[in-house]
Amino acid sequence: MEHAAIAADLPKPAAYAELLRHVQALVEGVGDEIAVLATVVCELHHTFAHFHWTGFYRVTARHLLTVGPYQGSHGCLVIPFDKGVCGACARAMATVVVPDVEQFPGHIACSSTTRSEIVVPLIDPDGTLRAVLDVDSNDPDAFDSNDQAGLEMLLSFVAQHLAMTAAPVARP
Ligand code: SME
């Protein structure tokens, strides 16, 4: 499905609101987790110039996060809950904003160019942590309260959508 790009000069709140509408239209009727998460990552990564690595780490085992889907250079494949900014977000089940990664004890440097980071939890309606969304920027202090609010609003929709549309596994 083709759609118009979101104008780069839109203020962040309007850009996030429009991006949410794009994602809602794109994933309508699709319950496959990877298809939905990949679409979210693609829309975010190609909309915001300050997003240099954009991706999910999914909860794949007890206290373990596994990368994907993502866009950007290659990310660490697995992150335990007791490591990094992603682990901190998974433990707290709350958004973590890091204005300067060098000031965050235990930050995992997947890329030497990363200067700031935001990690947002994807929490199912039943309260279970499904994944975290990690966004890294090469710009210092790149993420503000508009990014936090926009990403939390988006992931709230994604959690509701996946819970409502998840298809039963059907093998061809
Ligand atoms: N910086 C993250 C690790 C993931 S990569 O940056 C893609 C962290 O500290 O958890």
pLDDT in tens, 88-121: 999 999 999 999 999 999 999 988 999 999 999 9
**How far, in Å, CA of 133 to CA of 117, rounded?**
11
Report the share of the chain in percent with pLDDT over 70: 94
Task: Kindly give the pairing relationship between strand 53-61 and strand 64-71.
Answer: antiparallel
Residue with CA at minimum distance from ligand 1 atom 1 = 108
**How far, in Å, CA of 76 to CA of 111, rounded?**
10
- Ligand 1 lined by 110 (C-beta under 6 Å): yes
- Ligand 1 lined by 118 (C-beta under 6 Å): no
- Ligand 1 lined by 59 (C-beta under 6 Å): no
**How far, in Å, CA of 126 to CA of 111, rounded?**
34
The pLDDT tens digits for 12-59 are 999 999 999 999 999 999 999 999 999 999 999 999 999 999 999 999
66, β-bridge pairs: 58, 78
CA 152 to chain centroid? 9
Best mutation site among 41, 70, 79 for ligand 1, i.e. most ligand atoms within 8 A of its Cβ? 79
